[in-house]
Amino acid sequence: MTSTFRCEEEFLQSCCSGSGSAVSLPSDSTHNSERDHLQTSYTNLTKERDQLQTSNNNLTKERDSLHTGVKKSSCRAAAVVLGLLCLLLLTGLITLVCLFSKGNSERDQLQTSYTNLTKERDQLQTSYTNLTKERDQLQTRVEYILNYFQKIIQELGWVYFYHSFYYTSSNRTSWQQSRADCLQRGGDLIVINSKEEQDFAIQFQRCTWIGLTDGEAEGIWKWVDGTALNTSYWLNGEPNDLEREDCAEIALFDKETSWNDQSCIVDNFWICEKMMAP
Ligand SMILES: [Ca+2]
Ligand SMILES: [Ca+2]
Ligand SMILES: [Ca+2]
């Protein structure tokens, strides 16, 4: 405003001191009107500035508020995430503890079972060892008793072979008398059931009666225990029933086929058999 007034005064001075011609000056009312107008504009600008300043302050506050809110939200979100992570960590830790405890429990059970099995195995091993000792002792005792009785029966004229005892006579007599002697001794004339028994019988190298006869029915040979003849060891051409031969004897000793049918009244040695068990 001051510069404006200065320009107006300079303008007035230049006009008066110049050509001296007459110039028309603005009136005071016009000048006041412009000044009022300027004053009003200035006031309005001031108000607008103040409003802008207020708005700026408000925006600044809102920004700060929002910034604070954002910070709070970020902190809250971070706290939530951190809480979730802690929860997951705690859950995992609890799971690990449970698994570890369960593993320890199963391990302890297995250890207990293993210990019990080891004890049972040791007990069984001890029992087995004791039973083995008892078995060996019994075996030794049985062998001793068998040897003892074998000596006794040998003194009585008996020998043991494959579950039977055998007696061979030292004199000769008929088939019937031979059988009567065997029965009186608790046995009977030998019944040859196997090749081994046949081989055993011929080793005595004597003509001996055996417990085989066809006296009940000619040609139908039976053993004295009532069983039929299945496997036989007849000499070639025997039995021939020459002169009513109804009793069997061992006639040869150097070959497996050694039997002959003979008259029962002929005197022969004989072999008795007594089985250990029927
Ligand atoms: Ca026999
Ligand atoms: Ca005959
Ligand atoms: Ca004959």
Q: How far is the CA of 64 from the centre of ligand 3 (A)?
A: 145
Q: How far is the CA of 169 from the centre of ligand 2 (A)?
A: 24
Q: What is the mean pLDDT of the chain?
A: 85
Q: What pLDDT score was predicted for residue 97? A: 82
Ligand nearest the Cα of residue 227 is 1
Q: How far is the CA of 211 from the centre of ligand 1 (A)?
A: 9
What span, in angstroms and rounded, lies between the C-alpha atoms of 262 and 246?
6
Q: Give the burial class of 174: count Cβ atoms within 10 A of its Cβ; 0-12 exposed, 13-18 middle, 19 or more buried.
A: middle
Q: How far is the CA of 269 from the centre of ligand 2 (A)?
A: 20
Q: What pLDDT score was predicted for residue 104? A: 86
What does each C-alpha distance from 22 to 9, 88, 147, 249 come to in angstroms?
16, 100, 185, 201
Q: How far is the CA of 239 from the centre of ligand 2 (A)?
A: 7
Q: What pLDDT score was predicted for residue 259? A: 98
Mean pLDDT of the 243-259 span: 93
Element (H, E) at 248: strand 247-250
Which residues have a Cβ under 8 Å from the Cβ of 257 and sit 6 or more positions away?
Answer: 233, 234, 235, 236
Q: How far is the CA of 275 from the centre of ligand 3 (A)?
A: 29
Ligand nearest the Cα of residue 271 is 1
Q: What pLDDT score was predicted for residue 78? A: 76
Q: How far is the CA of 235 from the centre of ligand 3 (A)?
A: 9
Q: How far is the CA of 180 from the centre of ligand 3 (A)?
A: 23
Token readout for 273 is 């058999």
Ligand nearest the Cα of residue 166 is 1
Select the more confidently predicted residue: 80 or 236. 236
Q: How far is the CA of 130 from the centre of ligand 2 (A)?
A: 60
Mean pLDDT of the 218-245 span: 96
Ligand nearest the Cα of residue 242 is 3
Which residues have a Cβ under 8 Å from the Cβ of 174 and sit 6 or more positions away?
Answer: 264, 265, 266, 267, 268
> Binning pLDDT at 50, 70 and 90, where does residue 16 land?
very low
Q: What pLDDT score was predicted for residue 278? A: 59
What span, in angstroms and rounded, lies between the C-alpha atoms of 36 and 43?
10
* Lowest pLDDT segment from 61-70, 203-212, 227-236: 61-70
Residue 198 pLDDT exceeds 50: yes
Ligand nearest the Cα of residue 190 is 1
Q: What pLDDT score was predicted for residue 26? A: 52
Q: How far is the CA of 174 from the centre of ligand 2 (A)?
A: 16
Token readout for 128 is 């087995």
Q: What is the pLDDT of residues 61-119, one digit of tens each?
A: 888 887 776 667 666 777 888 888 889 889 888 888 878 888 888 889 999 999 999 99
Ligand nearest the Cα of residue 193 is 1
**Partners of 189 in the beta sheet?**
272
Q: What is the pLDDT of residues 145-158, one digit of tens each?
A: 878 877 777 778 89
Closest CA to 258 of 244, 275, 238, 274: 238
Q: How far is the CA of 138 from the centre of ligand 1 (A)?
A: 28
